[in-house]
Structure 1
Amino acid sequence: MSVVRLSDTLTVSAEQVNETAAQLGVKVPDGDVESYRILLSGLDACVAQIEAEDDYFPPLDLERFPRTDVHYPTPEENAKEHNAWAYKVHIASTNPVDQAGPLAGLTVAVKDNVNIATVPSLLGTDIFAEPYIPEYDATIVTRLLRAGATIVGKSACENFSLSPNSFTNAHANVQHPLAPGYSAGGSSSGSAALLTGDKPIVDLAIGGDQGGSIRLPASYCGIVGLKPTFGLVPYTGIAPLSSIVDHTGPMTTNVLDNAKLLSAIAGKDGLDDRQLDAPNFGLDYYTPLLEYLEDPKAAVKGMRIGLLKESLEVHVLDPRVRDKVKGAAELFKALGAEVVDVSIPMHLLGPTIWTVANRQAVAELALRGQNPVRHGVHDTPLTRKLAHWTQEMFEKTQLHNPAVTASFLGGQFVRETYPGITDKAINLSRKLRDTYEAAFAAYNVDVLLLPCTPTIGNYTFKLEDSVFAKAAKTVGVTLNTTPMNVSGHPAICIPMGMLPIIEAGREQDAHIKLPIGMQIMGGLWQEAKIYRAALAFEKSYDWREL
């Protein structure tokens, strides 16, 4: 590393040199402290020059995309809509070409980790004295507006997007529209709730999925949620968890709308370095599906579907869910698809790979703003807000979502105790990716069928519950979703039936049925095949009767 410049004055003290060294676990020899004062003062001068420059964010066109009625909904207003909103806003393009786009006339809710300039991002937490207000729109926000959509608000998400249940938002728990008090799934809980029921509040929604956070709420709420292939949809302008698993994607009430929404947002943006292998913008997943509307069976006729053996063996899987998936496989056979058993033993290692590969990144990137040196757009103000945690911040976060504080501690534990283990787990994530791809080829299957959540939504915890009691509500929920996050494979969750509540301690709710979803997983970049299978099932069967 060359020395760019030396400072005319020394701005770094000997104490700062020694304190910095101590943080690294080393000591600078006394005779060399003055040399480091000079060198670090030169670095200080470079920092001062950068600080003097304006930051460089993507351009914002407020004339084309004006925003009005930005407001935080009152508790009473939000309670009427399942506590599913973080912020309300109205944004629609003034451009006539945009107004005639494929999403014209459709309302969209965007997950609260997605940047909308001038609209606060709460991130499900209450630890900031002042909320983070983005200065630019995420790429997908601009694409939605150019496609003619009307953005009507930011949907509430779980605390730092780190929960598979909808109990952790610091402002209000998102309620399941079909059974208040039960989990609507997380972390894209608000997006799912706004789409659930006979009268959805919005037409379309955007979710985020780093461990299943699109698919889990889709399963619990009976909607359609797709985690695209890693990098297919740009993540520019979205608060990250870990750059190897960051995905954003469409959540809708039906498969056709899902394909239409994906078409509007997919493809390279030239900014997100997660998209190195992604196709260019301008993809169309929607139009090819229209030819199957008169004969949905034709969408899967001749298709070979694999029933993933290991996905039915995860230790917390409700036997009723296993039976539903096997029943769905038989229903696919009735549509003309060939269904075969597929064994991928490494699938069961996927959740462990995900845990170790990402725990350090979540602790450092998502929670402390310690961005690695990566290309793309960095959210400087958010990074600064996260740079220094206090005891109060820790305790506030633990109260609502101990998964965050466990990740905070776990990342540091892994870093200090097992140097290199994160690197090995990331290498194994490539092995998992290659293993899935090899299985698609070896079994000659088009898609794989597997459960999404192992159970229907469970009942909320109390704030006064112990850290462990709260964490227990999440055990095993993501066993069949996290593997695809580290492998990068696309997977959709569609509803496959309903099951009555049998949760211990909630016997009074035994008369209530809640949705349960199945996943259809495809090879890398094979979203079109996934949509064909999903459409055939959706159009041929009423999942509410299964």
Structure 2
Amino acid sequence: MSVVRLPETVTVAAEQIRQTAAQIGVQVPERDLDAYRVFLSGLDSCIDQIEAEDDYLPLLDAERFPRSNVHRPSPEDNAKQFNSWAYKVHIASTNTEDKAGPLAGFTVAIKDNVNIATVPSLLGTDVFEDPYIPEYDATIVTRILRAGGTIVGKAACENFSLSPNSFTNAQAKVMNPLAPGYSAGGSSSGSAALLAGPSPIVNMAIGGDQGGSIRLPASYCGIVGLKPTYGLVPYTGIAPLSSIVDHTGPMTTNVLDNARLLSAIAGKDGLDDRQMGAPEFGLDYYTPLLAYANDPKAAVKGMRIGVLVESLEVPGLDPRVREKVRVAAELFRSLGAEVVDVSIPMHTLGPALWTIANRQGISEQALRGQNPVRLGVHDVKLTQKLAHWNTEMFEKAQLHNPAITVSLLGGQFVKYAYPGAADKAINLSRKLRDTYEAVIKDHHLDVILLPCTPTIANYTFDLSDSVGDKMGKAVGITLNTCPLNVSGHPAISIPIGTLPVIEPGREVDTGIRLPVGMQIMAGFWQENRIYRTALAFEKSFDWRIL
């Protein structure tokens, strides 16, 4: 490292040097304090120059994409729509060519961790004194508008996107439209609730998925949710959780619409460094599927489909869910596919890899704004809001979502108690990726089937419940989803049947039936195979009566 320049004025006090050194566990010799005051004052000088410049963010074309009627719905109005909204807005392109695009006529909800310029991002939390208001649109927002979609609002999400259930939003709990009081899944809870039930409120939605947060709510709400291959869809302009597992993707009521929305948003944007190896923008997953719309058997005839046996034995899996997946596999066989069991023992290590590889990143990047030095667009104002936590913020976060405070403490615990553990977990995540790929290749598999959530949706908790009881509602839900985040493989959740409620303490609800979701995963960049498989099931069978 070289010193670019020495400061004209020493601005750093000796006590600041002592405090800074204490943060990393060292003590600067008294005789050297003045030297360090000079060198750190040089940083002050550089920062002055940086702050004098305008930030360099993607341009907002407010004339082409004007926004109007930005508002938070009243609590009463929001409750009528399952508390699904964070903000309402109306944005549609004024460009004639855009208006004729593939999403023309479709209304779209955007998860509340995605930047829409001038529309506050609540992030499901109340720890900020004032909400973060983005200055530019996320890449996927611009792409949706250019494709002719109409954005009608920001869907509520879970508190800092850190819950597989829909009970943690600080403004209001998102409810499952199929059974109010039950989880809509998380963290893309509002996105799923807006699509669920017999009368969807929007045509399409965007979700985020770092441990299952698209697929889990899709499973609980009986909709279609795809986590694309890592890097396929640009993450530019979206609040991160942990850079190695950040995914965003489409949530819809059916497979064809899912492929239509993915086509509009997939491909490199030249800004997101997660997209190394991703294909260029301009992909079409929708048109090839049309050939199978009236002949779903043809979509899977001759396919070789694996059933991942380890996924059927994860702790807490409802045996009824296991049976639904087995039945679905046999239904694929009836359509002309070859169905075989496959074993991937390392799948069971996936949740531990996810936890250790990401806990430090979540603690520092998502919750404290300590972004790593990496390329891409950085949201300076959000980072500044996250930079300094205090006890009041900690207590607010713990009240609604103790997963936040567990992550804050756990990330620091891993960092200092087990240095190098996260690095090894990230290395082993590549081994998990390669293991999945090898099994797919060696067994000549087109896709692999596995359960999504281990049970149907569970019932809400009360704010007065203990930290342990609140966290207990989340234990084990991501055992079959988070391994595919650390490996980066694409996976969709589709509904394959319903089951009656048997949750202890909810005997009054035994007449309620809720959806069962099944994942279909494939090799890297093989979303087309996933869509063919999902479409064949959807067009051949009615999950509501299975």
**TM-score, normalising length: structure 2:** 1.00
Equivalence for 1:324: 324
1:451 alignment partner in structure 2: 451
Per the alignment, residue 175 of structure 1 pairs with 175
> Who is 2:112 aligned against?
112
Partner of 1:537: 537
- Aligned residue for 1:339, secondary structure, equals strand
Equivalent position of 1:271 in the other structure: 271
**Alpha-carbon shift at residue 40 of structure 1 (Å):** 0.7
Distance 2:420 2:119 in 1: 40
| Shift, 1:346, TM fit | 0.2
> What corresponds to 2:421 in structure 1?
421
Shift of 1:27: 0.9
Alpha-carbon distance in 1 for matches of 2:137, 2:193:
24
Corresponding residue of 2:219? 219
Q: Which residue of 1 aligns with 2:95?
A: 95
- Give RMSD over aligned pairs: 0.4
**Cα distance in 2 for residues equivalent to 1:274 and 1:324:** 35
User: Residue deviations 1:361-390, cap 9 Å, x none?
Assistant: 000000000000010000000000000001
Equivalent position of 1:243 in the other structure: 243
Partner of 1:75: 75
Aligned length: 546
Report the Cα distance in structure 2 between the residues aligned to 1:293 and 1:106, rounded to whole angstroms. Answer: 20
Q: Deviations over 1:228-253 (max 9, x none)?
A: 00000000000000000000000000
Q: What does residue 339 of structure 1 align with?
A: 339
Look up the match of 1:283: 283
In the alignment, structure 1 residue 352 sits paired with structure 2 residue 352 = yes
Write the distance in 2 (CA, Å) between the matches of 1:101 and 1:269. Answer: 19
Structure 2 CA distance for aligned equivalents of residues 369 and 89 of structure 1: 27
For 1:296, the aligned partner's letter is: P
Structure 2 portions without partners, runs of 5+? none
Q: Which amino acid aligns with 1:325?
A: V
TM-superposed deviation, 1:18: 1.2
Q: Aligned partners of 1:353, 1:485: CA distance in 2, in Å?
A: 10
Distance in 2 (CA, whole Å) between partners of 1:478 and 1:268 is 28
- Give percent identity, aligned residues only: 77
Query: Separation in 1 of the partners of 2:56 and 2:26?
Result: 36
What residue is the counterpart of 2:127 in the other structure?
127
Look up the match of 1:302.
Answer: 302
Q: Distance in 2 between matches of 1:542 and 1:23?
A: 59
**Structure 2 counterpart of 1:115, one-letter code:** N
Q: 1:22 deviation in Å?
A: 1.1
Shift of 1:93: 0.2
Structure 2 Cα separation of the partners of residues 130 and 19 of structure 1: 29
- Give the secondary structure class of the aligned counterpart of 2:194: helix
Equivalent-residue separation in structure 1 for 2:293 and 2:76 (angstroms): 42
Q: Aligned partners of 1:23 and 1:543: how far apart in 2?
A: 56
Secondary structure, aligned partner of 2:51: helix
- The 1-side partners of 2:35 and 2:205 are apart by 56
- Structure 1 CA distance, aligned partners of 2:323 and 2:515? 14
Please give the per-residue CA displacement for 1:490-540, whole angstroms capped at 9, x wherever unaligned.
000000000000000000000000011100000000000000000000000
Q: Distance in 1 between matches of 2:182 and 2:339?
A: 34
- Residue 375 (structure 1) aligns with: 375
1:29 is matched with 29
TM normalised by structure 1 equals 1.00
Tell whether 2:149 aligns with 1:166: no
Q: Distance in 1 between matches of 2:407 and 2:444?
A: 39
DSSP 3-state at the match of 1:455? coil
Aligned to 2:251, the other structure's residue is in SS state strand
1:398 aligns with 2:398: yes
Runs of 4+ in 1 over 6 A off after TM superposition: none
Partner of 1:150: 150
- Give distance in 2, aligned partners of 1:35 and 1:115: 43
Output the CA distance in 2 between the equivalents of 1:407 and 1:20: 24
How many Å separate the matches in 2 of 1:541 and 1:293?
13
Structure 1 residue 294: Cα displacement: 1.7
SS at match of 1:87: strand
Report the counterpart of residue 410 of structure 1 in structure 2.
410
Distance 1:536 1:384 in 2: 48
Provide Cα deviations, 1:106-135, integer angstroms capped at 9, x if missing partner.
000000000000000000000111100000
Query: Counterpart in 2 of 1:432?
Result: 432
Residue 455 of structure 1: how far off its partner (Å): 0.3
- Paired with 1:319 and 1:199, the residues of 2 have a C-alpha distance of 31
Name the structure 2 match of 1:466. 466
Measured against aligned partners, the alpha-carbon deviations of 1:372-415 in whole angstroms (never above 9, x if no partner) come to: 00100000000000000010000000000000100000000000
Deviation string, structure 1 residues 151-207 (Cα, Å, up to 9, x no partner): 000000000000000000000000110110000000000000000011100000000
- 2:270, 2:291 → 1: CA distance? 33
Give the residue type in structure 2 aligned to 1:247: H
The CA distance in 2 between the partners of 1:441 and 1:232, in whole Å, is 21
Q: Does 1:253 align with 2:253?
A: yes
Mapped to 2, the partners of 1:407 and 1:22 lie a distance apart of 23
Whole-angstrom distance in 2 between the partners of 1:329 and 1:201: 32
SS at match of 1:195: coil
2:488 match:
488
Shift of 1:23: 1.1
Quote how far apart the aligned CAs of 1:43 are: 1.2
Structure 2 residue 62 is the aligned partner of structure 1 residue 62: yes
Given residue 71 of structure 1, which amino acid in structure 2 is its aligned partner? H
